[in-house]
Amino acid sequence: MIKYDPISAEILKNEELRQLNEMELIASENYTSIDVQTALGSILTNKYSEGYPGKRYYAGQEFTDQAENLAIERAKRLFNCKFANVQPLSGAPANFATLLALLKPGQKIMGMSLSHGGHLTHGSEPSFTSTVWKSVQYGVDPETGLINYDDLKKIAEKEKPDLILAGFSAHSRSLDWKKFKEIADSIGAYTMADIAHIAGFVATGQLENPLDHGFDVVTTTTHKTLRGPRGGLILTNHEDLSKKINFAVFPGFQGGPHMNNVLAKAIAFNEALQPEFKTYTKQVIKNAQTLANELKNLGVEIITDGTDNHIVLFNCLSSFNIGGKQAQLALEQAGLSTNKNTIPNETRSPFDPSGIRLGTAAMTTRGFKEAEFKKVAELIDQVLKNPENPDVLDNIKNEVKAICKLHPLPH
């Protein structure tokens, strides 16, 4: 509770009410446990801890070392790997530090195109990664929305990248880690997997672990499906790369880690090691498939015709004759938080694209199951058929609030 700053207290209170009364359908968001939030708001935020356990630059590190070692050991156990760096402040710094560790400036990376579902840090032109390193992009088949691995191999053989980056920000199907590895090996490239969106599924065995297929490095965020604090994580099984990664994170790219966040990661990793978390991740996928199927039954064009994870991407332009910007705004006015998103073969601006991206991780945390997500599909359909009707939007917002009241926030 904020005691002496009423303006800030009011902001915090209003955000809590917003989260309580709205359906969080943004694929990159989730709700943390009260234990994670307690660590984030703890006295550890006072401590500066440049360096690594046993090799700090400041005194008074007995308990910060314990916190970081705990997070490292739990991360290694969770992802069945030999090395983990838990210091990255988020996913983008984790990706950048990994590229710094593996490549020299001017070398070439090959990642998924942003407009086809990749991430900015995968070599997209607006990202600094495309300034430091040369970049070539691969995409998905315009008809199926899936990666054509024969085409990917042709691009790799022609461009000869030094590193192939497999991962996505808006793709609803599983990646074939084995094929990525085979293609990279055939040209002598490093393999890097960004599993930020699917880390929870990888940790619980719902989806395959790239490290099991010989990937050199895996990066991830610790929120999204992993349901921890906002932060990053780097994993590998190669001792020679682990030293380079540590150096790239600190002193190469970051200063002191946020130790309150590191302890919060340790708590989240422990939560993810419990049997209940596996049950949760299974339900997240079931819910996403239910949502996709129900929208499809309502005539909505689903990209890739379904999902293997928590992401459902649909074409609102073809389905409702409105752009993503207007669709996102109408849904928000009705109490449904989503995000506008580009789709394969995008013809519009990324500021007003053709698609909407949905995710099921957050509302599954609040107890939603298949029945609730069938209702979510109906509500989305009603909103986007009446995007400028304030009476319809207000009625749906009240219905959303009533449903949310039955499924309180975790804390």
pLDDT digits (tens, 9 = 90+) for 106-142: 999 999 998 888 898 988 888 889 999 999 999 999 8
pLDDT digits (tens, 9 = 90+) for 345-357: 888 998 999 999 9
- Catalytic residue flag (residue 194): yes
CATH class of 283-405: alpha beta
Q: Is 317 left (phi over 0), alpha (psi -120 to 50) or beta?
A: alpha
- Catalytic residue flag (residue 224): yes
pLDDT at 273: 98
- Facing residues of 233 across strands? 220
- Catalytic residue flag (residue 50): yes
Residue 411 has pLDDT above 80, yes or no: no
Residues 6+ positions from 104 with CB-CB distance below 8 Å: none
pLDDT bucket at 216, cuts 50 / 70 / 90: very high
pLDDT at 410: 86
pLDDT at 82: 98
pLDDT at 267: 98
pLDDT over 70, % of the chain: 100
pLDDT at 107: 98
pLDDT bucket at 331, cuts 50 / 70 / 90: very high
Residue 241 has pLDDT above 80, yes or no: yes
Catalytic residue among 173, 181, 224, 397: 224
Residue 205 has pLDDT above 80, yes or no: yes
Residues 6+ positions from 113 with CB-CB distance below 8 Å: 124, 137, 138, 139
pLDDT digits (tens, 9 = 90+) for 4-52: 999 999 999 999 999 999 999 999 999 999 999 999 999 999 999 999 9
- Catalytic residue flag (residue 48): yes
Residue 356: φ, ψ to 5°: -130, 135
Catalytic residue among 194, 216, 308, 381: 194
Cα gap 98→106, rounded to integer Å: 15
Over the Cα atoms of the chain, what is R_g?
A: 21
Neighbouring C-alpha atoms within 13 Å toward the C-beta of 209: 19
Residues 6+ positions from 221 with CB-CB distance below 8 Å: 28, 90, 91, 94, 196, 199, 230, 231, 232, 233
CA-closest candidate to residue 316, choices 31, 336, 308: 336
pLDDT at 305: 96
- Catalytic residue flag (residue 173): no
pLDDT digits (tens, 9 = 90+) for 156-191: 999 999 999 999 999 999 999 999 999 999 999 999
pTM: 0.96
pLDDT at 38: 96
- What is the greatest pairwise CA distance in the chain? 62
pLDDT at 170: 94
- Facing residues of 217 across strands? 192
User: Between helices 390-405 and 370-385, what is the axis angle to 10°?
Assistant: 170
Eight-state DSSP code of residue 340:
E
Catalytic residue among 32, 221, 281, 342: 221
Query: Mean of the pLDDT values across residues 299-316?
Result: 97
Catalytic residue among 230, 340, 357, 397: 230
Catalytic residue among 29, 35, 38, 48: 48
Strands 55-56 and 51-52: antiparallel
Query: Mean of the pLDDT values across residues 362-377?
Result: 98
pLDDT at 125: 87
DSSP symbols for 47-115: ----EETTEESSS--HHHHHHHHHHHHHHHHHHT-SEEE---SSHHHHHHHHHHHH--TT-EEEEE-GG
Residue 294 has pLDDT above 80, yes or no: yes
Residue 341 has pLDDT above 90, yes or no: yes
Domain with CATH 3.40.640.10 in the chain: 35-272
pLDDT at 126: 86
pLDDT at 254: 94
* Token digits of residue 169: 């920000």
**DSSP alpha helices (H): ranges in 115-176?**
129-132, 149-159
pLDDT at 138: 95
Burial annotation 156-189 (CB, 10 A radius, 16+ → b, else e): beebebbbbbbbbbbbbbebbbebbbebbeebeb
Eight-state DSSP code of residue 163:
E
pLDDT at 115: 85
Return the CATH number of 35-272, one of 3.30.565.40, 3.40.630.30, 3.40.640.10, 3.40.250.10: 3.40.640.10
pLDDT at 378: 98
Residues 6+ positions from 321 with CB-CB distance below 8 Å: none
Domain with CATH 3.90.1150.10 in the chain: 283-405
